[in-house]
Structure 1
């Protein structure tokens, strides 16, 4: 029997349905956006890391991926894809249209490569969207334990006494370690031979074995080797001394006022990634970098968590590009 109550319920249901239909017809963008917001991510997310395993990039990427996965409800799996100073992974990310691929942004790929390569198969600023700056990582200047230099002053004196006879390794031309050491060479007027590798991991293997004399590496990747005595830290690139290495002076303290060198890592997406995805990941990054477990994990490795907005990260990238464009030109850095 059709009672007044049942008729009223049917009428209300019809009004709601009608309102939704009108809204979807009159404002299709709003309806589609709401559906997309709820639907994304619809599958696991791939995070490309443009470097070989074993460096600071992997530590930051995996720490962030673990926490972001919890917030988004989908796995974020890290895929190392080294080569061509990070450009292989950058090109793959730029060409991705699946809406579920992003890349670990880095000082080398975003702020240096655009100025040392004559031509890239992508436009760094146009083909990528900034999501969030994840962390800043102190650069440490280290030598093999057999090198007869206990601090930066002694190393510089040794390099000046033997110009071109000492060498240093990096994760590749245009990498953060390459920039950091060239920056030091410019400041101290020394000549030390550069030996580029395909990633921090292979570089560390030779540094620990004594086939390299020195390097500048992100703190997370080498702190354990310093504490074990296999490597000697002769200076830090930070403004102030690190709590983990209180007895190691900064480069600025060692006679080069104003010197600072810090690596950084962020998340970037291809230009094709929808805005709803950018917003969701940025929110997840902010939450991840505030998570006590992630914060403790990163700071334990001397990394400074950030987790800012897309606009803040975009402004930061622009500032870094302006800074390192000048350093790359003065040091005449060329790709492999």
Structure 2
């Protein structure tokens, strides 16, 4: 009886081993048969929202179903990634994964792992960052900014797109290197941040080039940018490295799915979004904000997540922002 029972178990296990891939392949063959939800970590109207809407529109045409954007701002851009932890692993819920996701376990108590508990689909782009001030600001140059900050510790207010976002942490890293203390005011995204600086609520803004339209309108002035080289749109503005600050930040981001999403569905999503990235309409949308395509396939993006998880820990600890045990 015992041997017969073991034979039945072995047969069932073998059948299950065959059935699972067949099921996954069947699910992929029919995928998608309804709209896909793509959650964005920042509010409507900013550079992330505008560029990702174009990408989603392109991908929806390729997949044959709409890719619908949902804005989930707040919590340093980590709400979409957190939403994946309670979403079905069927490919119909996707999330933008900003760099802040990899800092989360070091600053907040969570019960999930940013590397292991997300299926990384594709990296699509990164940001062009900088610090800008109102056009009528007395800070004509970055040196003016630093000189005032040194003479008035904690008095120079700057806004960012949220606490523990790349604009916030990078500005604090810059301040640490220069020995200055700034007053950080967090906002939910570029649109809110732009309104704040236009309303005179802050003295400076650290942001992606969501401030580009304000520069074009003559309302703000850029003091520095954070890439390896000067931005084409602001050729007269020095990089941090040119100013003697050894910092480069472009904060790559991409798209993730819930852990356990069938590989065939991940592959189908990857292929559609890769084709969507190559469409000139997406490249043009990125160019409005001096952003460029930064492509990583699923395997490369997973490796990037692993490496970034380690480097972000070092940054959080260096700035003294790690949570207490």
Secondary structure in 1 matching 2:197: helix
Q: Report the counterpart of residue 279 of structure 2 in structure 1.
A: 291
* TM-score where L is the length of structure 1: 0.85
Aligned 1:91-170 pairs, distance under 5 A: 91-97=82-88, 99=90, 100-109=92-101, 111-117=102-108, 119-170=109-160
Instruction: Tell me the matched-pair count.
Output: 308
Displacement after TM superposition at 1:271 (Å) = 0.7
Task: Determine the C-alpha separation between the residues in 1 that align with 2:117 and 2:267.
Answer: 18
Q: Report the counterpart of residue 315 of structure 1 in structure 2.
A: 303
Q: Report the counterpart of residue 226 of structure 1 in structure 2.
A: 215
Task: Answer yes or no: is the 8 Å Cα contact 2:73–2:79 preserved in 1.
Answer: yes
In structure 1, the gaps of 5 or more residues are 1-23
Q: Tell me: CA distance 1:73–1:229, structure 2 relative to 1, closer, same or farther (3 Å).
A: same
Render the CA deviation track for 1:255-300: whole Å, top value 9, x for unaligned: 22x3211122200111132222111111112212222221122123
Q: Which residue among 170, 193, 197 is the counterpart of 1:180?
A: 170
Q: Tell me: CA distance 1:26–1:108, structure 2 relative to 1, closer, same or farther (3 Å).
A: closer
Task: Answer yes or no: is the 8 Å Cα contact 2:89–2:262 preserved in 1.
Answer: no
Q: Tell me: CA distance 1:145–1:30, structure 2 relative to 1, closer, same or farther (3 Å).
A: same
Task: Determine the C-alpha separation between the residues in 2 that align with 1:204 and 1:108.
Answer: 21
Pair 1:255-2:247 in alignment: no
Task: Determine the C-alpha separation between the residues in 2 that align with 1:190 and 1:26.
Answer: 61
Task: Determine the C-alpha separation between the residues in 1 that align with 2:313 and 2:225.
Answer: 23
Task: Answer yes or no: is the 8 Å Cα contact 2:81–2:95 preserved in 1.
Answer: yes
Report which stretch shifted further, 56-65 or 230-239.
56-65
Aligned 1:230-241 pairs, distance under 5 A: 230-241=219-230
Task: Determine the C-alpha separation between the residues in 2 that align with 1:144 and 1:180.
Answer: 20
Task: Determine the C-alpha separation between the residues in 2 that align with 1:89 and 1:175.
Answer: 14
Q: Report the counterpart of residue 84 of structure 1 in structure 2.
A: 75
Q: Which has the larger radius of gyration?
A: 1
Pair 1:274-2:274 in alignment: no
Displacement after TM superposition at 1:28 (Å) = 4.2
In structure 2, the gaps of 5 or more residues are 1-14
Displacement after TM superposition at 1:200 (Å) = 2.9
Secondary structure in 1 matching 2:68: strand
Q: Report the counterpart of residue 21 of structure 1 in structure 2.
A: none
Q: Which residue among 186, 194, 210 is the counterpart of 1:204?
A: 194
Render the CA deviation track for 1:98-148: whole Å, top value 9, x for unaligned: 620010010112x2222111x114321222111111101111111122321
